[in-house]
C-alpha cells in the first residue's frame, strides 16, 4: 500500500547505498529518483491501542508494563551519549546556575528514559550546600548493591582492563553500570535478571513513543532536601505513559 512513487525512491536509494558500500561511486552518483527530502520519508506508524489488537510499538509494549521495563539498553551507547565523566566532575555552581553543562548528545533524552538518579556502583550529580558534588564519590561513599546489580560488587573483566569500557575511576565503568542514572547492560553480559524492572533505563520517546526524560542531570538537593526525593522525581514506567506506544518504525 501507500504511494508507489515513494516506494520507487526507496528502492533506488537502497541501490545507491549498496553502490556506495561496494565502492561503485560512479554508479551512486548517477543514480536518480532517490530520497532527498523529509517528504519522502518511509516509516511504519503504530497506534496506542492495547488490546484486540495491540497496535502499540513492540518496544513500548515490552517496556511500559505493570511489572516495569523489559529488556536492557546499551550501556556503551548511553555512556557515549552522556558525555565525559571528567567534564561533569568539573562542573561548578556557576555552571549549574547558567545551565552550562558538559557537551553531550541531546538525543539521549529522546532515546532513553531513566527511572532512577543513580545506578549501583556508579555516581549521580547533585547540587548541595552551595556546591556541585559527584555523589557518593566526593563523600567517600559506595553505591554498590549486589541484590539489584551483581556486577557492582565485582572487578571489571580482565579483557576490559585498561580500556574505556573497563574504566573504574569513578566506580564501576560502562561494563557494569552507567553514570547519572543510566542503567543498562553491556554486550555479552548473560547474567540472570535482578529485580530492576522499575529502575533500569527504558525506551524513550523515539521511536517507541515512550516517555521523555526530563530528569535533571544535576539534582537540586538544596531545594528537594533528600536523595530519595531527587530519585522520586525520575518517575517509573507504566502502561499508557508517554506517547502510549504510538511510535514509528523507520524503514
Residue 143 preceded by cis peptide, ω within 30:
no
d(CA 112, CA 212): 8
How does pLDDT run along the chain (251 residues), one tens digit per residue? Answer: 678 998 999 999 999 999 999 999 999 999 999 999 988 888 899 999 999 999 999 999 999 999 999 999 999 999 999 999 999 999 999 999 998 898 889 999 999 999 999 999 999 999 999 999 999 999 999 999 989 999 899 888 888 888 888 888 887 788 889 999 999 998 878 888 888 999 999 999 999 999 999 999 999 999 999 999 999 999 999 999 999 999 999 87
Count Cα neighbours of 76 within 13 Å in the Cβ-side half-sphere.
9
- Can you give the residue range of the structural domain that contains 144? 62-232
The grid coordinates listed for 37 are 527530502
Q: Are residues 68 and 175 in the same domain?
A: yes
My answer on whether 24 and 115 are in the same domain is no
Peptide linkage before 247 cis (omega within 30 of 0): no
Residue 133 lies in a domain: yes
In a domain, 52, yes or no: no
Whether the ω angle into residue 130 lies within 30 degrees of 0, i.e. cis, is no
Provide the pLDDT for residue 186. Answer: 86
- Measured CA to CA, the distance from residue 122 to residue 180 in angstroms comes to 8
- The pTM score is 0.87
Amino acid at each position: 500500500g501507500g504511494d508507489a512513487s515513494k516506494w520507487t525512491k526507496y528502492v533506488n536509494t537502497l541501490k545507491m547505498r549498496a553502490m556506495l558500500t561496494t565502492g561503485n561511486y560512479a554508479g551512486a552518483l548517477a543514480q536518480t529518483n532517490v530520497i532527498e527530502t523529509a517528504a519522502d520519508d518511509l516509516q511504519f506508524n503504530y497506534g496506542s491501542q492495547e488490546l484486540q489488537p495491540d497496535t502499540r510499538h513492540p518496544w513500548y509494549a515490552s517496556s511500559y508494563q505493570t511489572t516495569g521495563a523489559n529488556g536492557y539498553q546499551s550501556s556503551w551507547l548511553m555512556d557515549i551519549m552522556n558525555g565525559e565523566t571528567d567534564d561533569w566532575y568539573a562542573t561548578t555552581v556557576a555552571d549549574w546556575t547558567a545551565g552550562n553543562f558538559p557537551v553531550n548528545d541531546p538525543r539521549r533524552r529522546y532515546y532513553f528514559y531513566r527511572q532512577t538518579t543513580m545506578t549501583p556502583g556508579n555516581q549521580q550529580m547533585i547540587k548541595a550546600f552551595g556546591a556541585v558534588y559527584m555523589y557518593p564519590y566526593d563523600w567517600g561513599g559506595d553505591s554498590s548493591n549486589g541484590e539489584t546489580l551483581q556486577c557492582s560488587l565485582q572487578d571489571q573483566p580482565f579483557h576490559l582492563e585498561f580500556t574505556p569500557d573497563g574504566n573504574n575511576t569513578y566506580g564501576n565503568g560502562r561494563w557494569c553500570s552507567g553514570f547519572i542514572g543510566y542503567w543498562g547492560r553491556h554486550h555479552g553480559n548473560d547474567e540472570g535478571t535482578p529485580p530492576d524492572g522499575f529502575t533500569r533505563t527504558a525506551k524513550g520517546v523515539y521511536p517507541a513513543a515512550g516517555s521523555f526524560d526530563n530528569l535533571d542531570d544535576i539534582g537540586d538537593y538544596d531545594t528537594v532536601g533528600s536523595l530519595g526525593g531527587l530519585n522520586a522525581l525520575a518517575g517509573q514506567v507504566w502502561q499508557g505513559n508517554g506517547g502510549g506506544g504510538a511510535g514509528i518504525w523507520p524503514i
